[in-house]
Amino acid sequence: MGDASNIIVGTAGKAYAAEVGATFPLGPELAWGAGWVDMGYITPDGLEEALAEERTTLDAWGEDAPVVDLAKKRTQTFKLTFRETTARLLSLYYQVQMSKMTSTPAVTGPPAKKQFISFGSGSVTDTVEIALGLDVIYGGKFHRIGIARSGVSDRGARQHSAEESSNFELTFTALAAPGGGQAVQHMITDVALPEEEEG
């Protein structure tokens, strides 16, 4: 018999960024610690998570089917569209380190001038990587995803018009974690293991 309480609908969510090597919270409902920054509003499309594998099979003489099926590579991606324009999102979209951006302060004048940020196009060798934290929330349920090291592998076109905000559509790919740790860690509330269900 099905249980409707096991259905998760991501009605809200948040994304957080930190330097690679940052410490993740030890539970899905604990506050994000020092160094983690809220990345701002996300469009109602929410989070699109994908897991792809490249596999190879080994055959044996006289066998009709493969005898070994090996995973060669596993790629996990996380796609989000952000609404706000911040230095961090500009850095990730244009692939330029924030340390290479210049902020010119406002001038009271006369004439008055607004503060502005400036930067050149990023270099293909100037990789921007972050630790990424994601929260998917439905009622009292939490699904927290921690990506120890990630980079932007795909970017949607930015639309500048009166019809829509100038969004940042970013697809993050999970990269090998520093020190050989878990590249991606999931924590989900109110999901019992089979032994717990029987007990």
pTM: 0.88
- Which domain covers residue 29, as residue numbers? 9-55+68-103+113-192
Residues 74, 78: Cα–Cα separation, whole Å: 14
Q: What is the pLDDT of residue 58?
A: 92
Q: How far is CA 11 from CA 14, 137, 139, in A?
A: 11, 6, 8
Residue 21 belongs to some domain of the structure: yes
Q: What is the pLDDT of residue 76?
A: 95
Average pLDDT, the chain: 92
**48 — phi, psi (to 5°)?**
-110, 115
Residue 1 belongs to some domain of the structure: no
Residue for token pair 């949607």: 156
Once rounded to an integer, what is the mean pLDDT over residues 91-120?
94
Residue 25 belongs to some domain of the structure: yes
Residue 32 belongs to some domain of the structure: yes
- Render pLDDT for 127-154 as a digit per residue (tens, 0 to 9): 899 999 999 998 889 999 999 999 999 9
Residue 185 belongs to some domain of the structure: yes
Residues 142, 157: Cα–Cα separation, whole Å: 31
Q: What is the pLDDT of residue 198?
A: 61
What domain count does the chain have?
1
The secondary structure of residue 114, as a DSSP letter, is -
**CATH of residue 93:** 2.30.110
Tell me, what amino acid is at 108?
A: T
Residue 153 belongs to some domain of the structure: yes
**189 — phi, psi (to 5°)?**
-80, 155
- Render pLDDT for 61-82 as a digit per residue (tens, 0 to 9): 999 999 999 888 889 999 999 9
Residue 19 belongs to some domain of the structure: yes
Q: What is the pLDDT of residue 26?
A: 94
- The kind and range of the H/E element at 78 are strand 68-82
